Structures are given as C-alpha cells and as structure tokens.
Amino acid sequence: MFQLVLSGLALGCVYSLVALGYHITFVTSRTLNFAQGSAMMIGAVITLILVVDFAWPMVPAAIAAILLLGVFGFILERVAVRPFVRRGSVAWVMSTLAVGIIIENIVQLTFGKSPRGLPNALAQDPVFVGGAGIYPLELLIPAFVLAITLGAWLFYGTTMLGRALRATAFDREASLAVGINVNWMVGLSYAGSSMLAAVGGALIGPLIGVSSHMGFLIGLKAFAVAIVGGLEHPVGILVAGLVYGVAESLVGGYFGSSVKEIFGFGLVILVLFLRPSGLFGRTTLRRV
C-alpha cells in the first residue's frame, strides 16, 4: 500500500503541475487552456523523439520541449483564444478543445497510436523504501515540483515580470493604467501554462510511456484538480492534486482501473456540490 501511496504522490504532483497551468491562464485572463492535456503530451513526445531518435541527453531534451511548448502556448492564445475573447464570446472553450483534438490526431498520425517507452536511468531499477519498490524518478518528481513551486514563488515575488503578471491577474484596468502590456501578459500566461504541462509530460513519460492519447485523460483530471482546488488558489490546487493522485492510486490498486475513474470523477462532483467554488474558494459577492 505504501507503494501505491508513493506512486500516487508522484502522479498527483504531475496533475498539480498541469492543473497549475489552468490556474495561471484563468487568473490572468479568465480563460482556460483546454489544450493543456495535449500540451503535456507533446512535451512528452518531443522529449522522447529527442532522446530516442536523436540521442540527446534527457535534460536538454526536456528543456527543448519546454521552450517549444512556450512558443506553442503563446501562439495558441493569439490564434484560438484572443479573437473570441475580443468579441466577448465564450467560444474559446470549444476552440481550445478543438485545437487539442487536432494536435492529438496529428501526433497520432505521425507518431503512431501505440505507446513508446521513454528510457530514463531513473525509471529503470526500483529502489526500496520502507519495503516498497519504487523508481527513483517517482521520488524525484515531488522534489521537482516543489522546486518549481519555489521557483514560481520567487519569480512572482521578486521579479518585475512576475509582479506585472500578478497585477494583470488582479486588476486588468489598473495594469493598463500603469503601462503594463496586458495582451502580452496574457500571452505569456498561456506560454507558461503550456511549459508547465511540458514539464509534467517529460516527468511522467518515463513512468507511464508516451502515446498520443496520454494527454486526454490526464488533462481532464488536471482540470478537475484545478476546479476542486479552486481555480484561483494555487495552494489548493497543489493539495487537491496530491490528494487526487493518492486516492486514485489506492482505489485503482484495490478495485481496478474503471472504478478508479468512477471514484475520481464522482468525488469531483461531490466536492463541487458541497463547495461550488472549489475546496479553497470563496464565493464572491455579486455586484449589481
């Protein structure tokens, strides 16, 4: 069981990471990047191609994937989100969803349907911790995510760009008043969100294999995590992701994989029923 918990923790961290991507774009622009799952998948795919086909070492490959996805996110916002937001329409939901579908299928055609392994030294030989066999990578992931969270905290807290992003999220009009280029900030938030997804993909690839379809369910669960944690509460999202990952792992381990989905999504509905703004959200007063 301990093993299940640890694996669940690792997967949960990845959910949180991808979920934070939803959070970032939501607070900056009140839109959501529904291509997030696909972004994660591409991150894993690019990493795999560079490592396996071009014999790059893991780290540079991952970095390349992350940077490429940053560009992707920026373009995505410009092409599939901003034109609709500008008109006051919510069609960006369908359009980002559609982009996700398009990407998944392009990858499927070029990459093939079956999963490929992403070899990684840290995911080959299990070590034994407290009687449970676990890959070093699974232990490393939470550490990574912690480091990223710390890095984000520093970024947002001490750099001008970070402050500007927070400002845009807090009050768009005031940000315009001090001369922040709000459009750029939104674009950057999409870039950042896709980059986070790419990190998630590179981290989880070695553990579960890379396939064109891997992004779909994880993207969906990450969305659930983001909602349950509260779209505006990064700490809530981290916690929700960990809890979801561990709970899912335990249920899946004892009851099988379909039950795991039923349980997971059932839990989501239950939480939203009791706390419509997420676990940590506060309902805002309606201003008339």
* Pattern 231-270, another protein, x by CB under 8 A: x------------------------x-xx-xx--xx-xx-
For residue 258, the minimal CB distance to another protein (Å) is: 4
Given a contact cutoff of 8 angstroms between Cβ atoms, the answer to whether 263 and 248 are in contact is yes
Of 59, 181, 235, 254, which one interacts with another protein (CB under 8 A)? Answer: 181
Does 216 interact with another protein (rule: CB under 8 A)? yes
For residue 222, the minimal CB distance to another protein (Å) is: 11
Does 288 interact with another protein (rule: CB under 8 A)? yes
Of 214, 227, 238, 239, which one interacts with another protein (CB under 8 A)? Answer: 227
Does 170 interact with another protein (rule: CB under 8 A)? yes
Of 117, 147, 171, 235, which one interacts with another protein (CB under 8 A)? Answer: 171
Q: Which stretch binds another protein (CB under 8 A): 51-59, 146-154, 207-215, 276-284?
A: 276-284
Of 127, 176, 235, 254, which one interacts with another protein (CB under 8 A)? Answer: 176
132-134 and 127-129 strand pairing: antiparallel
Of 1, 59, 71, 89, which one interacts with another protein (CB under 8 A)? Answer: 89
* Other Cβ atoms within 10 Å of 233 Cβ, number: 20
Q: Considering beta carbons, is residue 62 or 268 the nearer one to another protein?
A: 268
Number of residues that bind another protein (CB under 8 A): 60
Q: Considering beta carbons, is residue 56 or 84 the nearer one to another protein?
A: 84
Does 120 interact with another protein (rule: CB under 8 A)? no
Residue 12: CB partners within 8 Å, gap ≥ 6? 241, 242, 243, 244, 245, 246, 248, 249
Of 59, 60, 71, 105, which one interacts with another protein (CB under 8 A)? Answer: 105
Please report, as ranges, the residues that interact with another protein according to CB under 8 A.
Answer: 26, 32, 80, 83-84, 87, 89-91, 93-95, 97-99, 101-102, 104-106, 109, 160, 163-164, 166-167, 170-171, 173-174, 176-182, 216, 220, 223-224, 227, 231, 256, 258-259, 261-262, 265-266, 268-269, 272-273, 276-278, 285-286, 288
